[in-house]
Amino acid sequence: MKKEEKKEYVNKKGLRLDGRKVDETRPIKITAGVLKNAKGSCYLEWGINKVLVSVQGPREVLPKHMANPLKAIVKFTYRMAAFSVPDRKNPRPGRRDIEISKVCGEALEKAILLEKYPNTQIEVWAQVLDSNAGSRVAVLTAASVALADAGIPMKDLVTAVAVGRADGKIIVDLNKEEEDAPDAVDMPIAMMTNSQEIVLLQMDGLFSKKEWEEAYEMSLKALEDVKKHQINALKQQFKEPIETKTTEKKEDNQVFSKSLSKNSPSDETKKEKHSSEKKVVKTEEKEIKSEVQ
C-alpha cells in the first residue's frame, strides 16, 4: 500500500492550497435588498458559501408571554438547506442549527438598539444554500447587512471572520480542506469594529497563547476588509451617491473661478495635473476675450 502524501497547507511561497495568502479571505460578494417582501434582506457569497438572510420587524411578539416590556427580542433562525452539503442534510433542525441560531442571535442583540422598541420582536431568518466551512460567520455578516437594510438602528455592523491553524500555520478564513487538517483549530470571531467589542467567539481545538495573539491580530485586519464589503453593499442600493455629485459641482465652480482670476501661477501648476480641466479653462478664456473685444 502506498502511503498518503502529506498535504502542504502553506507552501514555501506562503501560499495555501487554493492559492491564497495566509491573511487573505475568500472572495466576498454581498448584495443587500434582494427580497421585496421582507423588510430587509441580504444575499452573500463567501467563497463557495452562499447565504440568504431576511429580516422582519420590529413587530408584535408571538407567543405574547415572550414579550419584554423593556426591549425588543431577537429571534434568529439558522437553517441549512438539504442540498447545502455533499450528502443530503436532514432538513429537521438539529443540535448544530439550534446552537448557531442562539449564538448568532445573541451576537446581534449586542449591536441592535433594542431599547427603542419595547414589546416587539425582530425576526432574522438565515438560510444556508451552499456551505464550505465558515457558514456561521457568513450568516452573521449577512444578517447585520440585512438588519441595516431594514432600517433597524444599530451601534455598528457586526462583522465576522474565522481564523485558525492548519499544519502549524495561523491562517484566516479556513475552507473545508483546511478545517479537516490533523492539527486544525477553527475560531470564528465576530466583532463590532468601532468599539472592538467581541460579540461572538468560539473555538474548535486549542491555541497556545502566542498563537492566539497572532490569530487575533490577523482577524482584526480581515474584519476591516469584510466590513468594507458590508458598507459597500449597503451604499450600492442608492444610485448616484450624493458625494460624487456635489464634488463634481464644486470642481465646476473652481474651474469657472479660475478662468475669472486670469491664471495665477499656483493655478497653472494644478492645471498640469488635470489636463481635462485645462481645456475647459482655455475655451472659457477665449470666450471672455472675445466678449472684451
Residue ranges binding another protein (CB under 8 A): 39-40, 58-60, 69, 113, 117-120, 148-157, 192-195, 230-231, 234-235, 238-243, 245-247
Q: C-beta of 230: minimal distance to another protein in Å?
A: 7
Q: Which amino acid is at 19?
A: G
**114 vs 181 by CB, closer to another protein:** 114
**119 vs 127 by CB, closer to another protein:** 119
Parallel, antiparallel or unpaired: strands 169-172 and 197-201: unpaired
Distance CA 222, CA 137 (A): 12
Q: C-beta of 132: minimal distance to another protein in Å?
A: 28
Q: C-beta of 244: minimal distance to another protein in Å?
A: 10
Q: C-beta of 61: minimal distance to another protein in Å?
A: 10
Q: How far is CA 98 from the centre of its chain?
A: 23
Distance CA 278, CA 268 (A): 9
Q: C-beta of 290: minimal distance to another protein in Å?
A: 32
**196 vs 290 by CB, closer to another protein:** 196
**50 vs 227 by CB, closer to another protein:** 227
**136 vs 229 by CB, closer to another protein:** 229
Distance CA 89, CA 81 (A): 7
**97 vs 149 by CB, closer to another protein:** 149
C-alpha cell recorded at residue 49: 458559501
Helix (H/G/I), strand (E/B), else coil: 25: coil
Distance CA 39, CA 130 (A): 24
Q: Are 89 and 80 in contact (CB under 8 A)?
A: yes
Distance CA 145, CA 103 (A): 17
Give me the phi and psi of 279, to 5 degrees please.
-60, -45
C-alpha cell recorded at residue 213: 495573539
**205 vs 241 by CB, closer to another protein:** 241
Q: C-beta of 203: minimal distance to another protein in Å?
A: 26
Q: C-beta of 102: minimal distance to another protein in Å?
A: 23
Q: Count the alpha carbons within 13 Å of 107 in the hemisphere toward its beta carbon.
A: 31
Q: C-beta of 34: minimal distance to another protein in Å?
A: 14
In the chain, which residue ranges form alpha helices assigned H by DSSP? Answer: 95-111, 135-149, 176-179, 209-235, 242-260, 265-273, 275-292
**132 vs 144 by CB, closer to another protein:** 144
H, E, C per residue of 50-92: EEEEEEEEEEECCCHHHCCCCCCEEEEEEEECCCCCCCCCCCC
